[in-house]
Chains A and B, each alone.
Chain A
Amino acid sequence: MAKNYSNILKDIDTIIVAANAVNGAAGNVDATGPLVFPMKYFGFLSEPNQMKIAAKARLIREGGGSNLQKGYDFKATSETFEMLNGEAAVVEKYLNTNCDIYLFGRDQVHRIKSVFPEVQIVGDLGVKDKQTVSLMCNDFPTSYADNLELNGVNTTYLTTIPQKYKTLMESIYRPGIVFETYPYLGAFNQTTKLFDASASRVAGSLFNTPVWSAAPIGAPYQILTFDGVSMYADFGSILNDDGVSDLLIEIWFKPVGADGSTQKIFTKKNSVLDNTAGFGLYRFTNNSIRFIMSNGTLSATFVTASTNNTQNIWKHFAISIARSGNMQGYTNGAVDGTAVSVASITTGTNAYGLRLAADQGGSFGNVAVAAVRVSNYGVGGLPSNVASIISQNFNAERTILGV
C-alpha cells in the first residue's frame, strides 16, 4: 500500500535504517557476518524502545544478527563508527539522541536525506506518542543508489545525485534481474568490495586493487579498470547455468589491453577457450566479442560480426539466451552476429566464482567495466521483445559512457 512519505516523516525525529542480510544469510550485522548493503529493511523510530521493536522485527524476518552500528552525523567525516553489541546496548546508546536518518551496515553507514526509496510498507509497528512507527522493506529489486548518500561527499552530491540514480534505474527494464553491479554508480567508499544491487544482494570481492576512475560523463559516475595481470572481482559461485532457464546478460565494458589480444571480461568458467562447464564472455584476438556456454564436453560460442571492439572504446554487449533454442548477441543495442543454438548444451553448473576480468584458469582481462546485469526469465520465459529491452537499457545508460 502506497503511503505519503512526507506525512510519515512529519514530526519523526529519528529514523533508523536497519541492515539487511546478503542472500538472506543469518547473523547479518555482526562483525564477522556478511556485508549488509544495500538496505533491505528499515523502521521509522522516534525513541529507543521503538528501535528495539524494529530490531526485533528485523531479527524475526532474518533469523539472526544482533549488532548494530551507531550512526553519526557526518559533519565530522573522520569519525569512526562504533559497533554496538546487542539490543540493550543499542537502546542505551540511542537514549536521548536526536539523530538523522541512517543506514546501518558493517562496513558502511550512510545517511539518507531528501530522497526516499520506493519501498513497500510491510507493516506498521504501532503508534507511539502520536507518531507512526513503520517497518519498511524494499525487497523488490531496486538500486542501492536510489536513495543513498555517501559519507563525506559534498552537498551537491547529497541532494542531486541520488535523484539522477533513481531516474536512471527507473529507465532500466527490471523484471527478471538476478544480478546487477554498477561500478558506474561509484565505489561507495569501498576498495575491496563490489556490490550486487539486485534482490540477491551478493557482496563481491575486489582483488589486487582494481582502479576506480571517473566515467566519461564525469564524476561522480565511475568506472572500474582491471590491469590484465592480477586484478579481478569475484562474486562467489552464483548464477550457475541450470541448462533450462532463459537468460539475458548485459555488460558495459571497454578493452584497455592492446588490440588483437584476448581479454577475459565476465566468466564463470575455468577457461573460456575450452569445454569446461560454465560460461564466459571475452574479447578475442580478432577483436570480436565472444560468449561461450559449455557443459563439460560440448560448447556453443556466439561470435559478434563486429571486429571493432578495440582499445578504449566503450561497448554495451548483451546476449539473450533461449536455453532450448538460440543465443543472440547485441552490441550497442543492435543485433551483431548470427544466432547460435544452445539447445544441446546441458547444465553448465560448476563451483567456480563469477568473475570480472579473469577466469579460473589463470587468465585475466585488461578491461574496464561500468555495469553488469543478468536477468533470469525461467524456462521458456525469454521476453519476445528482448531486442527492445536491450535497446531500452542501452539507451538508458549510454550517455554515462559517452556512447
Chain B
Amino acid sequence: MNTLYLIGPLEVLKGQFSAHDFSHARTSLDGVNAVIREDVTDDLQKALETQGVQCLDHDDTIALLNGTASSGIWYAPESEEAQ
C-alpha cells in the first residue's frame, strides 16, 4: 500500500473513491481533472493508470501541478507585470 497523489479525471476518481470528500479537492481550472491523496495498492494503481490517472509522489506532483506548464491548466495564469 502506497500513499500517493492521484491526478486524473474527476469522475474516475469519484467512482473509485466514493468516500473521499471532493468538495474541496483541487481541480484543474476547467474542472475536468482533480488531485487527491489516497492509499492505493499496486493493483489499484495499475487500474487507475489505465483510466488516465497519474499516481505520483509529492515531489513529482508539485512539479507537475505547480510548474509553468500547468499555468492556465491547474492554476490561473500569473503575470509578473504586477511585480
Measured CB to CB, the residues of A under 8 A from B are 207-209, 227-230, 257-258, 261, 270-275, 290, 292, 294, 299, 301, 303, 361-364, 366
- Residues from chain B with Cβ under 8 Å of A230 in the complex: 24-26, 35-37
Give the Cβ gap from B22 to chain A, nearest Cβ, in Å. 10
Asked whether, in the complex, the Cβ of B79 is within 8 Å of the Cβ of A273, the reply is yes
Q: Tell me if B62 counts as interface (CB < 8 A to partner A).
A: yes
CA distance A362 to B31 in the complex (A): 11
Chain A residue, CB-CB nearest to B59: A258
Contacts known (A261-B66, A294-B82); A229 close to B26, Cβ less than 8 A: yes
CA distance A294 to B83 in the complex (A): 11
CA distance A229 to B29 in the complex (A): 14
Chain B residue, CB-CB nearest to A275: B82
**22 A-B residue pairs with CB within 8 Å:** A208-B25, A208-B37, A209-B37, A227-B58, A228-B62, A229-B37, A229-B61, A230-B26, A230-B35, A230-B37, A257-B62, A261-B62, A271-B75, A271-B76, A273-B78, A273-B79, A273-B80, A274-B82, A362-B26, A362-B76, A363-B75, A364-B66
CB-contact partner of B83 in A207, A301, A362, under 8 A: A301
Main secondary structure of the interface of B (DSSP, over half): mixed
CA distance A209 to B26 in the complex (A): 13
Asked whether, in the complex, the Cβ of A229 is within 8 Å of the Cβ of B82, the reply is no
- Residues from chain B with Cβ under 8 Å of A273 in the complex: 78-80, 82-83
Asked whether, in the complex, the Cβ of A271 is within 8 Å of the Cβ of B62, the reply is no
CA distance A195 to B57 in the complex (A): 31
- Residues from chain A with Cβ under 8 Å of B25 in the complex: 208, 230
Asked whether, in the complex, the Cβ of B37 is within 8 Å of the Cβ of A271, the reply is no
- Residues from chain A with Cβ under 8 Å of B35 in the complex: 229-230
CB-contact partner of B79 in A209, A274, A290, A366, under 8 A: A274
Q: Tell me if B65 counts as interface (CB < 8 A to partner A).
A: yes
- Residues from chain B with Cβ under 8 Å of A227 in the complex: 37, 58
- Residues from chain A with Cβ under 8 Å of B80 in the complex: 273
CA distance A261 to B65 in the complex (A): 13
Asked whether, in the complex, the Cβ of A363 is within 8 Å of the Cβ of B82, the reply is no
- Residues from chain B with Cβ under 8 Å of A301 in the complex: 82-83
Asked whether, in the complex, the Cβ of A299 is within 8 Å of the Cβ of B82, the reply is yes
- Residues from chain A with Cβ under 8 Å of B76 in the complex: 270-271, 274, 361-363
